[in-house]
Amino acid sequence: MNRYPPWKYILLAIVVLIGCIYALPNIYGEDPALQISGVRQAEVGEALSNRVSQVLEGAGIAVKQVELEEGKMLVRFDDTETQLSAADHIKAALGHDYVVAFNLAPATPAWLTSFKALPMYLGLDLRGGVHFLMEVDMVTAGKQAIERYTNEIRALLREEKIRYAMIRSEEGRVRLVLRSEDDRDQARAVLRKSFPTLVVEEAETSGKPGMLVRPSEQEVRETQQFALQQNILTLRNRVNELGVAEPVIQQQGASRIVVQLPGVQDPGQAKRILGATATLEYRAVDIEHDVQQAVAGKVPAGSRLYKQRDGGHILLKKAVIATGDQIVNARSGFDQTSGSPMVSVSLDAKGARSMLKFTKDNVGKPMAVVFIENRTETSIVNDEPVKRQVKVEEVVSVATIRGVFSSRFQTTGLDSPKEAQELALVLRSGALAAPIEIVEERTVGPSLGKDNIRQGFNSVIIGFIVVLVFMAVYYRVFGLVANLALTLNLVLIVAILSMLQATLTLPGIAGIVLTVGMAVDANVLIFERIREELRIGNSPQASIHAGYEKALSTIADANITTLIASIVLLSFGTGPVKGFAVTLSIGIMTSMFTAIFGTRAIINLIYGGRRRVAKLMI
């Protein structure tokens, strides 16, 4: 009676060992660090490490450690002030070929990381996290709106067969030059009917009748507000794609957005994707004119000279077949014919009609894919970082149209599977309505204040110690056994959260505290049942056996009903509610294991087997 077979003790020992190994990384803390990763095929190796070391040494910045792994470089520092200073110098030295992101790198020893043991992530309310302050380029948003109006007015005049000499976009307005006064009168009537919100003014240009068309002040404000809200929505979609738990994305002022990401596993990737303004355009190749003459400066009307990714040049038609904002879905993969990285694209109805019409008329002719990206380059001028916006447009692929297609097709010519994945993510989550620049990037402290956090942890520790003392005094030897199980329960919860790389927040701590109480409650039920068996005259061995057997159903019922409630919270809750439900669910399962299986194994070792026990210390 009251004996376990050896395999149960071996199982318990393995669980305890694994739990200790994966919980240990949480006691070593973190180092402020910079994570450097390459854009496209930029190499991250010893040469880059030496270059970064030279830059920091020349700036008099002390480095704690430099690490290279999996195509990334991690530079550790002793404090955040050194980290911030080093970031400006490294960004200026490396340019746009590399992404430099702030990070808090675990200071876990190598022997633990060899087991893939990493600390769990703490939410912004406990530890802080990565903070981005982004500025929306409202000037570009206005220019984009004027460009759209220019194209729409040109198409409208052609449709209405109104003769014009010139249509061009200017600073905040569109200038029209008509052939005659009658044409101007017709154009004015058509514009006021089709675009009632635009302000139309007469203006002579070189003695010819013309007009200036501009959006009203209210429409300008609405355009800027739309760009801001659209960018917030797009950033939220991108963060959801990254799988960040409980992010904060909100407007700050008239043109800025705050993004806070707790527990990001790859801040470099987060920075690339959040700030990415990459999009695609599909254009026809101009095969009627000579590229070399265009390179020499003779670019034909209706065409434009582009650079190719391999360094060459190509002539493309100005008319766009489809744009990135018409893409409704994108998935990365590999081309079955060539095995090269590709992005499978799906267009909306408008883009599909345009693509269908173009491919019907141009089978056998080439079509180019233009990759467009806005970048921010940093340079050091008079020991001060200076940033400037750079727009990069390059042709990534040129393919011959082999058949008619509309909404679904593939884009190839990308450098790597990683670039294909990130481009697909950016296209899938939606294009930014206007370029954004990360004007501030830092690691932030706990939002509730260090004193409050310290008091919260202290209250948990004090409560835990009080429970341990009570159990040891009231239940004596059995209470000490319950304390061991309670400690193991906390270790297992932390270990599982670390293995899952979950993000722990204050609601999550509340879930842990609740499970501690439930674990104690299970032991109290068992011990009180054993006392009842002793009072009615059963032997110590029989009382132990009956206490565990009869209390099991009650404990199971209580825990299973609570587990069902936590699963409902996990399924339908959001944000803090999910954080509470995750730790509660894990704690229920670990407390069942430790309170029943764990304590029974230790009690069997102390009192079980063929031992003659005259009295139980309970």
Question: Could you say which DSSP state residue 364 is in?
Answer: T
pLDDT tier, 515 (very low <50, low <70, confident <90, very high otherwise): confident
Q: Is CATH 3.90.550.10 the classification given to domain 29-107?
A: no
Q: Angle, to 10 degrees, between the axis of helix 450-500 and the axis of helix 6-23?
A: 130
High-pLDDT (> 70) share of the chain, %: 88
pLDDT, greater one: 128 or 28: 28
Given a cut of 90, is residue 43 above it in pLDDT?
no
pLDDT of amino acid 34: 87
Residue linked to tokens 């058509």: 190
Q: DSSP readout, 446-464?
A: -TT-HHHHHHHHHHHHHHH
Q: How far, in Å, CA of 135 to CA of 435, rounded?
A: 9
Report the alpha-carbon distance of residue 120 to residue 216 in Å, rounded: 52
Pairing between β-strand 313-323 and β-strand 279-285 as defined by DSSP bridges: antiparallel
Of residues 537 and 244, more confidently modeled:
537
CA distance 144 to 313: 26
Query: CA–CA separation, 368 vs 479, rounded Å?
Result: 75
Percentage of the chain lying above the pLDDT 90 cut:
13
pLDDT computed for residue 84 by the predictor: 81
Residue-level pLDDT at 10: 93
Rounded to the nearest 10°, the torsion over CA 83, 89, 95, 100 is 0
Strand partners, 158: none
Which pLDDT score, from 0 to 100, does residue 17 have? 95
- Where does 216-365 show beta strands of DSSP type E? 248-252, 256-261, 279-285, 303-308, 313-323, 327-334, 341-347
Q: What angle do CA 377, 383, 389 make, to 5 degrees?
A: 15
Please say if the pLDDT value at position 14 is more than 90.
Answer: yes
Q: What is the CATH topology of the domain spanning 278-416+424-431?
A: Gyrase A; domain 2 (3.30.1360)
Beta partners for residue 151, in sequence order: none
- What confidence score (pLDDT) does residue 127 get? 64
Please give the helix or strand (H or E) that residue 371 lies within, else none: strand 366-381
The pLDDT, as a whole number, for residue 446 is: 55
The pLDDT of residue 245 is 55
Predicted confidence at residue 429, as pLDDT, reads: 62
d(CA 533, CA 540): 8
pLDDT band at 464 (very low <50, low <70, confident <90, very high): confident
What are the domain boundaries of the chain? 6-24+448-607, 29-107, 139-217, 278-416+424-431
Which tokens belong to 554?
């009650």
pLDDT at 315: 92
Structure tokens at 440: 């501030």
Select, from the ranges 92-96, 337-341, 482-486, the one with the highest average predicted confidence (pLDDT): 482-486
Q: What is the pLDDT of residue 238?
A: 72
**Which of 24-33, 232-241, 316-325, 562-571 bottoms out in mean pLDDT, i.e. has the lowest?**
232-241
Whether pLDDT at 430 is above 70: no
Q: How far apart are CA 503 and CA 496, in angstroms?
A: 12
Residues 511 and 573 sit within 8 Å (Cβ to Cβ) = no
Rounded CA gap, 208 and 211, in Å? 10
Instruction: Say what the pLDDT of residue 552 is.
Output: 87
pLDDT tens-digit readout, 200-252 = 888 888 888 889 999 988 888 888 888 888 788 778 877 766 656 557 788 88
Question: pTM for the full model?
Answer: 0.56
Query: Does this chain's domain 139-217 share its CATH topology with 278-416+424-431?
Result: yes
Rounded to an integer, what distance in angstroms lies between the CA atom of residue 235 and that of residue 133? 12
Q: State mean pLDDT over 568-586.
A: 83
CA–CA dist 431, 393 (Å, integer)? 16
Q: How far apart are CA 129 and CA 131, in angstroms?
A: 6
What does the pLDDT average to over 358-371? 88
The stretches of 243-295 forming alpha helices (DSSP H) are 267-275, 291-295
**139-217 adopts what CATH topology?**
Gyrase A; domain 2 (3.30.1360)
Distance CA 175, CA 35 (A): 48
The predicted pLDDT at position 374 comes to 66
**Strands 164-170 and 173-178, bridge-based pairing:** antiparallel
Average pLDDT, the chain: 83
Pair of tokens at residue 396: 């990534």
Ramachandran angles phi, psi of 166, nearest 5° = -160, 140
> Quick one: pLDDT at residue 32?
85
CATH superfamily of 6-24+448-607: Multidrug efflux transporter AcrB transmembrane domain (1.20.1640.10)
pLDDT value, residue 1: 66
